[in-house]
């Protein structure tokens, strides 16, 4: 049943931004007073719901859609509002009963992540740096957005570089909800300058926020996740760390460091069902809008497109030890490979020979992904033993 013309149809129990994207076609027809080439709007509705196996006995209520001055649907704004990756299909990933902490969640990617998690049922702690122990207006606004559509959320002002404040955030979360299932380490800052012109204090500050902030928050929830034998943690890396960017030595160093942190934590957390991954995003946020001058490019780089990848990394079936690169609707995996390399006998082990053999050392044929540091040691030792006739299968 429909409440009035011109409003979207939302299944009871889902918030307004979880509804099937395809039903917007029908909503537009309703706005035009039901005229789709003579077909019944209700018939189209039931056909659309049936296609997605939604029960026919449903209650539908209203939720206003954003519109332009002309009265037409403002689809750009709607895309910003709706949760990521729900278009055209019934959602299968949800976080009902789970609690998530998202740092740096007042604006940009963090805000999008918080809204995306809440839209799929998670209770969310919206962390954003406050002043004088007070929550920021941005964090409170995100909480209001979540609560307004039936979700649960609280704000916290912790500076992630301050372990005492992080611990307070975690304690308040546990006091309210009794568990923490998801941690999204998203908080970050920029202090861009070429390395020669950079004050070392700016280098230290960026490393403190990005690396130590992620370490502080992860440490604060680690034992909780171990005890409950479940946890999903995401570090936010960057192409600036994975590949390098001029003027971002501090940022790049920190962003590569969190990938290293992930590499070890995913090993240590494996037996406790704690999975740790990295997100390497590119999006139109306050941190990037001044770096990219072309508005057409910025319009493609929506935070919501990145959030779709984030949600995949924190679900029950999430991978482990994955660096997911994402931006503008593109998704790729960054993998560190090591070439097969060469072996040099003791008398050949000179810098001249290493340099002379650099092409062979760099040959990508038979390169492999190493998933633990000891695998590199085993590879080199095996090459040396084979060359020198040492049988390592026999114990001394």
Q: Could you report the per-residue pLDDT of 104-141, keeping only the tens digit for each? A: 999 999 999 999 999 999 999 999 999 999 999 999 99
Judge whether 41 and 8 are in contact, CB under 8 Å. Answer: no
Residues 6+ apart with CB under 8 A from 179: 98, 99, 224, 228
Burial 69-80 (b: 16+ CB within 10 A, else e): eeeebeeeebee
Q: Which residue is catalytic, options 17, 95, 230, 251?
A: 251
**Res 287: pLDDT:** 63
| Three-state secondary structure readout of 132-146 | CCECCHHHHHHHHHH
Q: With a threshold of 0.85, does the pTM exceed it?
A: no
Is 230 assigned a catalytic role?
no
Mean predicted confidence (pLDDT) in 148-163: 98
What pLDDT sits at residue 395?
A: 81
Pick left, alpha or beta for residue 321 (phi over 0 → left; psi -120 to 50 → alpha; otherwise beta): left
Query: Where are the chain's structural domains?
Result: 10-81, 99-334, 337-388
Both tokens assigned to 333 = 């995996």
211 pLDDT above the threshold of 50: yes
Q: Using 50, 70 and 90 to split pLDDT, how confident is the model at 72?
A: low
Distance between CA atoms of residues 109 and 287, nearest Å: 10
Share above pLDDT 90 across residues of the chain, in percent, rounded to a whole number: 72
Question: What is the architecture of the domain spanning 99-334?
Answer: 3-Layer(aba) Sandwich (3.40)
Confidence of residue 283 (pLDDT cuts 50, 70, 90): confident
Report pLDDT for 81: 53
Q: In Å, how far are 214, 287, 324, 325 from 115, measured between CA atoms?
A: 21, 19, 20, 20
- Strand partners of residue 134: 131
Tokens of 230: 């479940």
């Amino acid at each position: 049943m429909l409440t009035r013309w011109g409003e979207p149809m939302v299944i009871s129990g889902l918030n307004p931004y979880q509804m099937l994207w395809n039903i917007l076609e029908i909503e537009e027809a309703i706005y035009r007073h039901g005229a789709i080439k003579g077909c019944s709007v209700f018939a189209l509705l039931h056909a659309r719901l049936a296609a997605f196996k939604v029960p026919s006995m449903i209650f539908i209520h209203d939720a206003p859609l954003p519109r332009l001055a002309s009265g037409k649907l403002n689809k750009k704004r709607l895309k910003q509002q709706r949760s990521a990756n729900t278009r055209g299909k019934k959602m299968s990933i949800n976080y009902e009963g789970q609690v998530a902490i998202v740092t740096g969640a007042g604006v940009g990617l963090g805000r999008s992540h918080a809204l995306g998690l809440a839209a799929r049922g998670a209770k969310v702690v919206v962390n954003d740096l406050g002043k004088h122990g007070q929550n920021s207006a941005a964090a409170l606004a995100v909480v209001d957005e979540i609560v307004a559509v039936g979700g649960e959320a609280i704000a916290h002002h912790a500076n992630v570089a301050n372990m005492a404040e992080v611990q307070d955030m975690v304690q308040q979360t546990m006091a309210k909800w009794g568990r923490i299932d998801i941690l999204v380490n998203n908080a970050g800052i920029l202090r861009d300058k070429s390395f020669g012109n950079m004050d070392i204090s700016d280098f230290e500050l960026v490393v403190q926020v990005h690396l130590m902030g992620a370490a502080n928050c992860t440490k604060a929830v680690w034992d909780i996740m171990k005890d409950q034998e479940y946890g999903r943690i995401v570090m936010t890396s960057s192409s600036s760390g994975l590949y390098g960017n001029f003027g971002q030595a501090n940022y790049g160093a920190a962003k590569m460091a969190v990938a290293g942190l992930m590499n070890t934590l995913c090993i240590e957390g494996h037996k406790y069902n704690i999975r740790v991954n990295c997100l390497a995003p590119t999006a139109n946020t306050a941190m990037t809008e001044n770096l990219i001058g072309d508005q057409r490019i910025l319009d493609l780089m929506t935070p919501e497109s990145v959030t779709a990848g984030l949600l995949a990394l924190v679900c029950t079936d999430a991978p482990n030890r994955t660096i997911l690169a994402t931006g503008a609707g593109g998704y790729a995996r960054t993998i560190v490979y090591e070439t097969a390399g060469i072996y040099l006998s003791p008398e050949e082990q000179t810098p001249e020979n290493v340099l002379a053999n650099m092409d062979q050392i760099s040959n990508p044929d038979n390169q492999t992904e190493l998933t633990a540091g000891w695998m590199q040691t085993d590879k080199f030792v095996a090459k040396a033993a084979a060359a020198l006739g040492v049988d390592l299968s026999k114990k001394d």
